[in-house]
Amino acid sequence: MMHKAQHSGVSSTILDAHDVNTRLRTGQVRVCVIGIGRIGLPTALSFAKSGLAVTGLDVNEELISRIRSADFPLEDEPGYREIFEAVHGTDLFSVTTDPAKAIPDSDVVLLSLPTPMDDSSTPYYTALESVASDLNSLLTPGSVVVVESTVEPGFVESEMAPLIEGDRSRLKISENFGLGACPETANPGEILRNFESLPRLVGAMDANTADIISKVYGHVFPVDLIRMPDCRTANAVKLTTNVFRDVNVAFVNELAILFENLGIDINVVLDAAKRKYNFEPHYPGAGVGGPCLPVNSYQLLNTASGLVGGDSLLSMVRAGRRANEAMPSHVVNLMFDGLHEAGIAADSAPVVALLGVSYKPNVRDMQLAPSREIVRLLRSKGVVRIRLYDPYYVGEEILGVKAAASAADAMHGADVAVLVTAHEELLALDARTVSESGCKVFVDSMRIMSPEEAASAGLVYRGVGRGTSNEEGDNSDRHPS
């Protein structure tokens, strides 16, 4: 194993170096990014672009061989293909599945590992825990470890630190290795832009490590570095921003249902409300998915439930989750309601075309996508003739359906089109096109067309948050249960 002192040509490690900035400028800091998925790969590429030699480590062999053969896996991240092509094949960027090849030679180890939850919405951290155990045997003293994954406040201190230290015979935190947190806050689909503009949070187990992490990130990203008193506070900030969004979206989702019943259009309400200085608009839809917002709310709830009496804390976060998780069912109800108005019986085996199925616009990612629940509910109600179109999955089998080549193909001969996720391309969908495809009903989760436009094209229209003043009372008896 090559020791750091040999490869860097200097005698000290990054932890005790007085010349970190010089080392960074001269490319004498070696970096390992563990987990090169949605966040880790762009991170590794940004570090390589800054002139530091980066090794990406991942358990996914298929991903590693794709990257090795120069097949860039994140086409929906603008700007990164160019960076990938610039560093691929150079000494600055390599990938491996072997921890023993990647970890020991690294001065800085970034963890960008998944932090998902199980079917009962309990967050789990097995990837981080397993890598922490690898670090116990493979991390070279003098290195700095940075947890970028989203974890619960206190997880770095109480779970990661003891796992990496082990019996403390080789590694001692803040004595011969550093540990910190720099939670990732980028938004899929615009990671490069975010990396160049969003401030980063830096917390660590000691001030020296926080200084080093700030210098390293400051070398790579031209953004403000917000110094946190510790790792737990850095993770608390990350969760606060995302749970804030989850709760606010839940609020407008509930308003949307109320306004549908009152004959009020939520778009009109939000457009006017946002003109008040202290109102921040959030928008209703078919639900909240992805690897972050739903999980982050459950992470905070999980943290609270670990405290005595904690189960009674954060009741609005719990209620918000319930409201957001009910939206797919609401969309399905709107669909049956529209079919009823169009004279198509719920038990007549209607053909349904779903448009946009990934969890958010302009990104290829199905994690916790509301469309999953919509399809499950449809099937549970006997609707089996389901088509779908999503520009990111053309021709692929997704949710048990072979995705159509175009929105027009999916809608051709269908009874109802349900817009779930408004990808850029789908924003251009007009009512006449939907009507000419043969669809009688358009369900608009994202309000891409006006009810008037839909009506003038002869469509029955149902939009999330779009009340029509002529609706009557409770329609629940129109839906098969």
Ligand X SMILES: NC(=O)c1ccc[n+]([C@@H]2O[C@H](COP(=O)([O-])OP(=O)(O)OC[C@H]3O[C@@H](n4cnc5c(N)ncnc54)[C@H](O)[C@@H]3O)[C@@H](O)[C@H]2O)c1
Instruction: Indicate whether 59 belongs to the interface with ligand X (CB under 6 A).
Output: yes
Find the shortest distance in angstroms from Cβ 251 to ligand X: 22
Instruction: Indicate whether 366 belongs to the interface with ligand X (CB under 6 A).
Output: no
Q: Using CB under 6 A, which of the segments 21-29, 30-38, 309-317, 445-453 binds ligand X?
A: 30-38
Instruction: Indicate whether 176 belongs to the interface with ligand X (CB under 6 A).
Output: no
Query: In the Cβ-directed half-sphere of 178, how many Cα atoms lie within 13 Å?
Result: 30
Binder of ligand X out of 184, 260, 265, 390 (CB under 6 A): 184
Q: Using CB under 6 A, which of the segments 22-30, 124-132, 152-160, 216-224 binds ligand X?
A: 124-132
Binder of ligand X out of 94, 115, 140, 333 (CB under 6 A): 115
Pairing of the two strands 200-204 and 178-181: antiparallel
Binder of ligand X out of 13, 14, 24, 35 (CB under 6 A): 35
Query: Site map for ligand X, 190-229, x if CB under 6 A?
Result: ----------------------------------------
Burial degree of 119 (CB within 10 A; 0-12, 13-18, 19+)? exposed
| Closest by CA position to 13, among listed 133, 198, 165, 139 | 139
Instruction: Indicate whether 58 belongs to the interface with ligand X (CB under 6 A).
Output: yes
The tokens of 290 are what? 């992805």
Q: Using CB under 6 A, which of the segments 37-45, 152-160, 350-358, 401-409 binds ligand X?
A: 37-45
CA distance 152 to 123: 9
Instruction: Indicate whether 378 belongs to the interface with ligand X (CB under 6 A).
Output: no
Instruction: Indicate whether 113 belongs to the interface with ligand X (CB under 6 A).
Output: yes
Q: Number of residues interacting with ligand X: please give it, by CB under 6 A.
A: 27
Pick 40 or 465: Cβ nearer ligand X: 40
Instruction: Indicate whether 130 belongs to the interface with ligand X (CB under 6 A).
Output: yes
| Closest by CA position to 150, among listed 181, 196, 195, 193 | 181
Q: What are phi and psi of 461, to 5 degrees?
A: -115, 135
Q: What per-residue string of b and e applies to 351-375 under the rule 16 or more CB within 10 Å gives b?
A: bbbbbbbbbbbbbbbbbbbbbbbbb
Instruction: Indicate whether 102 belongs to the interface with ligand X (CB under 6 A).
Output: no
Find the shortest distance in angstroms from Cβ 202 to ligand X: 15
Find the shortest distance in angstroms from Cβ 358 to ligand X: 12
Burial degree of 347 (CB within 10 A; 0-12, 13-18, 19+)? exposed
Find the shortest distance in angstroms from Cβ 111 to ligand X: 8
Beta-carbon contacts of 224 under 8 Å, excluding residues fewer than 6 positions away, are 199, 200
Find the shortest distance in angstroms from Cβ 70 to ligand X: 18
Instruction: Indicate whether 149 belongs to the interface with ligand X (CB under 6 A).
Output: yes
SS (H, E, C) 65-116: HHHHCCCCCCCCCCCHHHHHHHHCCCCCEEEECCHHHHCCCCCEEEECCCCC
For residue 426, what are the CA distances in angstroms to 40, 185, 406, 429, 444? Answer: 29, 27, 10, 5, 11
Instruction: Indicate whether 123 belongs to the interface with ligand X (CB under 6 A).
Output: no
Instruction: Indicate whether 53 belongs to the interface with ligand X (CB under 6 A).
Output: no
Binder of ligand X out of 27, 37, 78, 154 (CB under 6 A): 37
Find the shortest distance in angstroms from Cβ 192 to ligand X: 13
Pick 297 or 333: Cβ nearer ligand X: 297
Beta pairing partners, 418: 354, 443
The tokens of 50 are what? 């800054």
Find the shortest distance in angstroms from Cβ 41 to ligand X: 8
C-alpha 21: how far from chain center? 32
Instruction: Name the residue with the smallest CB distance to ligand X.
Output: 37
For residue 26, what are the CA distances in angstroms to 10, 30, 60, 104? Answer: 12, 11, 32, 21
| Closest by CA position to 152, among listed 44, 297, 55, 252 | 297
Pick 235 or 371: Cβ nearer ligand X: 235
Instruction: Identify the three-state secondary structure at position 297.
Output: helix
Per-residue DSSP letter, 139: P
Find the shortest distance in angstroms from Cβ 287 to ligand X: 16
Instruction: Indicate whether 112 belongs to the interface with ligand X (CB under 6 A).
Output: yes
Instruction: Indicate whether 150 belongs to the interface with ligand X (CB under 6 A).
Output: yes
Q: Using CB under 6 A, which of the segments 184-192, 243-251, 337-345, 416-424 binds ligand X?
A: 184-192
Binder of ligand X out of 12, 60, 208, 450 (CB under 6 A): 60
Instruction: Indicate whether 114 belongs to the interface with ligand X (CB under 6 A).
Output: yes
CA distance 45 to 94: 10
Burial degree of 126 (CB within 10 A; 0-12, 13-18, 19+)? exposed
Residues making contact with ligand X (CB under 6 A):
34-40, 57-60, 63, 112-115, 127, 130-131, 149-150, 184-186, 188, 291-292
